[in-house]
Structure 1
C-alpha cells in the first residue's frame, strides 16, 4: 500500500512540474515572436533592434537585411539575396519573352532617357523616340524614382493600358503617348552575312545566354550555312553570361561529340568533366571561326571562349574577358525571395581557373577612343566660365572627333568655345557658342552613327581579315 502511494505522489509531482513548465518555462507569445533563428546572437540583435532602434522597420525588412548581410559576408559579388520582386525581375531578364512596352531606357543625370524603342513594340507604335525624356507614367511623376521603380511602373498584365508623358527637347514640348502592354519576344541571337574578298562571312551576335539561346543559335546558324557562308564570326562582346545549358548547346555545334568543353569543381574540390552532347549533324565543324570578346564578356561567354581556345577551334580576338569563374545556384526561400550563392568553380578544358584573370585574346585589338565612348543623353545650357561633368563629356567627344581641345577637365574655356562653334557650323546647327540640348543630341547621334559603321569597329575588321586569310589558304 505504501509503495502505491509513493508512485501516486511521484505521478502527481510530474504533472505539477509539467504544469509549472507550461506556465513559467514556456516562452510567451511575445518572446516567441522575437525568435527568428536558431542563433542566440541573431535573436538578441533582432530583439534589441525591435526594442531600441529609433528607425525601426517591419520584421520582414529586418530579416531580409540579415539574409542580405550573410550573403555579403561571403565577399563574393556573385552571391546575393534577391527579394521576391528582384527574383522575378532576374528570371524575366533571361526569359524568352516578357510583357511590357519594349523600350531601352538609361538613367542620365537623374533623368530617364529613351535609348531606343524595340521595332514594332507598343512603345515604337505609340511614337516614342530616342532621346525622349520620360517624365510621367500614368500621371505619376518620376522625380526621385529609381530604375527598378520605373521598370515596375511600366510592367503589368498583357493588354493593360499605359499613359506616358515625355519631354521631347528637339521640339521643346511635352508629348503624351498611349500604349498597351504586349508580349515582347526577347531575341538573344542575331545574324547577318558580310561579303569580303568574294567570301561570305556569317556574323552572329549573342547578347546573353538565355532560355532559348540554343534554339535561336541553331536556327540562325543553319540559315547562314544554307546561304553558303565560308566563315563564321561569333560576337559575345558585352555578353554577361547566363545559363550553362544554353552555352553548352552552342559549343556542341562547334566541337566534335564527346569533346571536353569545361570542368565543374564543387566546394570539396571534386572535378566533373563536361563533354559535348549534340544530336545535330556537324554542319559547323569545318567552318573557320573567330570569336570577338571584350572586358564585358563574362561567365557563360568565357565558357564558350575557353572551350574554343583550348580545343584550338577558334581565334579569340579583342580584349581580355571579365574573369568570372564561378557558377551560381538559386534557392527559393519561404518569404518568396531567393538566395543566389556560388556553389561551383568552372575550369577550362586545360583545367585553368580564370576567375579574376579572364581569358586573354589571341589577337589583342583596342578600339579607338570615340568607339569606346558611352552615349550619354545630357541636358542643360553652358557657356564660357562654367564648369561641370557635362562640359567634360563634350570636350572628350570633340577631342575624339579631332577638334582642337586643350582642356578636358570640364572647364568651359575659349578653346572649347571655338571647337563648339566649329562643330555647330559643320553640323548645320544654329550659330551659338553655348552648349545646349541641340548640341548634346547631335553629339549623341554622332557617336551612335559612328559605332554603327562596321569600318569603325577595329576588332570586327581584324576578325574579318583573319577569316579571309584562313579561307584563302
Structure 2
C-alpha cells in the first residue's frame, strides 16, 4: 500500500524532514564527488568531509576510490544509483525500493491511467519475484497466472538476484511483444512455461452488477485496485446500485493487490457504519493515528470476498468491515500490513520506503498472516489449473506436471481422466477423445495446440460463470440471510 507524495498531511509532517536529508545528502556528497579528480580524499579534504557529516565521509571516500582507481570505469549515475540501491537493500524489506527516473515514471503511470505490460502486481518473496495478483482482464490473468506463482525467467533471462525494479523492467514491455515466462507454481515439481502477450493495461478498477436471491436484489462491487480515481468511481457505482433499491452489498476484493491509502479510506467512509474505525497507522516512534469513518447508521448489510491475492489496501477494507461485524468470505488474504511512502529525489528518481505498519480496528497486525475469513470456502480445483503448453503435444504414456495439469482440466470440464497423478494412460486418452468429439475436433486422443486452445477457452467460460464461483454463491447466501 502506498501513500503517494503528500497525500496525507500527517505523513508529510513525519516524512518531509527525512526526505530532505536523503536528497541533500546525496546531492552534497555525490554531487561534489562527480566533479572531482585526482587522488582519493586525504588529509584536509577527508577531514573536512568527515567534520561536515562523519557518517557520509566513508561513502564519499569509497566513491572517489572507485571513480579514480577502478580498472573498469562506470557511469557516475550508475555508481550513485548503485549506492542508493545498496542502502535500501540493507533494510531487508521487499516493499522498499529505489527507482531511477524511468522506473519512477513507469511506477507513477501504473497508479494513474494505463501502462504497457502483462498486468500483474509482483513482490519479492524469499528472494523470488512472486505474483501477488494478476489484474482483472489482463494478459497475465488470461494466460492463467495465479497468486504465489514465482517468475524465474523472462525470455530466457533469469531474474535471480535482481532488484524488484530491475525484474519488473524485464517483465514489462511494449504492447504486442511476448514475455516467455518460466513459472514455478506451489504444489508442482516442474516449472511451467507460459507465454504472455503484453498489452495496454487500463486501470479500470471498479465493476458493478446486481444479483437476485429470493426476490431481493443485492449489489456487487468488485474493486481490482485502489488507484487515484477508484474512490470516485466506487461512489458513483454505489449510488447507482442504491437507487435500484438494493437490500445488501457484496464487496469483492479478490485478486486486488492494494494501492493508495487515501483511496481505501475514502471507500471506508462510505461503508463502515457508526463512525467506526477503518484502520490504525503506527509509525516507527510508536505513535498511532486512527482513521475513523464519517458514516452514520448502516442502511443494509455488507459482506466482503477475499482470497490469497487480496493484499494491503484490500486487507484494510476487509479488516475494517470485519471489525464492524460484517462477514468476510473466501480464503486467507495475502498478509501485507505495512505502509510505503514514495519520496521524490531532486533528479526525478524516488525512494519507496516502508514508513509505518497498519493495524485493524482492534489493533491486530496482520502482516505475513492475512485476514482470516468468517466463512472459509475454496474454489473448485480447476480454478487453479495452468494453461496447457502450446509447443508440446501431450499423448499416451507421457508423464509429468503438464499431464497432471491436463487431468485437472479434464475433470473440471466434466470428463473423467481416471487418475490425477500425471500419467497419461488409456482413461486419460479416452477423456481427451470425448472432449475432441464434443467440440468437433479431430479425435486423436492427443492434446495438440488446437485441442489445448479449445480446452483453455472452455475452462475460462466455466471459471467466469457465476454459478461455478463457490465463494460468490456463499456470499449471496450469507447476504440473503443477513438481509432477512
TM-score normalized with structure 2 length: 0.70
CA shift in 2, pair 1:460/1:63, >3 Å:
same
Whether 1:303 and 2:321 are equivalent positions in the alignment is no
State the distance in 1 between where 2:210 and 2:41 align: 65
Q: Partner residue of 1:47?
A: 65
Whether 1:202 and 2:214 are equivalent positions in the alignment is no
Whether 1:315 and 2:332 are equivalent positions in the alignment is no
Q: Partner residue of 2:148?
A: none
CA shift in 2, pair 1:32/1:382, >3 Å:
same
Higher Cα Rg: structure 1 or 2? 1
Query: 1:45 Cα deviation (Å)?
Result: 7.4
State the distance in 1 between where 2:206 and 2:456 align: 26
Q: Partner residue of 1:440?
A: 452
Which residue among 259, 264, 269 is the counterpart of 2:281?
264
Within 5 Å, which residues of 2 pair with 1:103-118? Answer: none
CA contact (8 A) 1:103 1:118 kept: no
Q: Partner residue of 2:21?
A: none
State the distance in 2 between where 1:91 and 1:376 align: 35
CA contact (8 A) 1:233 1:289 kept: yes
Whether 1:325 and 2:337 are equivalent positions in the alignment is yes
Query: 1:50 Cα deviation (Å)?
Result: 7.6
CA contact (8 A) 2:38 2:68 kept: no
Query: 1:274 Cα deviation (Å)?
Result: 1.3
Larger RCO: 1 or 2 (CA < 8 Å, sep 6+): 2
Whether 1:186 and 2:203 are equivalent positions in the alignment is yes
Which residue among 53, 56, 73 is the counterpart of 1:38?
56
Other structure's SS at 2:342 match:
strand
Q: Partner residue of 2:37?
A: 29
State the distance in 1 between where 2:69 and 2:275 align: 62
CA contact (8 A) 2:467 2:473 kept: yes
Other structure's SS at 1:253 match:
helix
State the distance in 2 between where 1:277 and 1:32 align: 60
Q: Partner residue of 2:232?
A: 215
State the distance in 2 between where 1:346 and 1:465 align: 31
Which residue among 212, 225, 248 is the counterpart of 1:231?
248
Query: 1:370 Cα deviation (Å)?
Result: 1.1
State the distance in 1 between where 2:71 and 2:464 align: 55
State the distance in 1 between where 2:206 and 2:417 align: 41
CA shift in 2, pair 1:333/1:425, >3 Å:
same
Q: Partner residue of 1:356?
A: 368
CA shift in 2, pair 1:466/1:164, >3 Å:
closer
Query: 1:340 Cα deviation (Å)?
Result: 0.8
Whether 1:372 and 2:380 are equivalent positions in the alignment is no
Whether 1:460 and 2:472 are equivalent positions in the alignment is yes
Whether 1:338 and 2:359 are equivalent positions in the alignment is no
Other structure's SS at 1:38 match:
helix
State the distance in 2 between where 1:38 and 1:437 align: 59
Whether 1:398 and 2:410 are equivalent positions in the alignment is yes
Q: Partner residue of 1:83?
A: 100
Whether 1:98 and 2:87 are equivalent positions in the alignment is no
Q: Partner residue of 1:138?
A: none
Q: Partner residue of 2:305?
A: 292
Q: Which runs of 5+ in 1 are unaligned?
A: 1-26, 107-114, 124-129, 132-141, 155-162, 166-180
Query: 1:224 Cα deviation (Å)?
Result: 0.3
CA shift in 2, pair 1:48/1:357, >3 Å:
same
State the distance in 2 between where 1:321 and 1:144 align: 32
State the distance in 1 between where 2:269 and 2:100 align: 35
Whether 1:450 and 2:456 are equivalent positions in the alignment is no
State the distance in 1 between where 2:255 and 2:389 align: 20
State the distance in 2 between where 1:118 and 1:298 align: 18
CA shift in 2, pair 1:116/1:209, >3 Å:
closer
Deviation readout 1:64-97 (Å, 9 max, x if unpaired): 23322322221211111223222222222221x2
Equivalences, count: 387
State the distance in 2 between where 1:435 and 1:468 align: 44
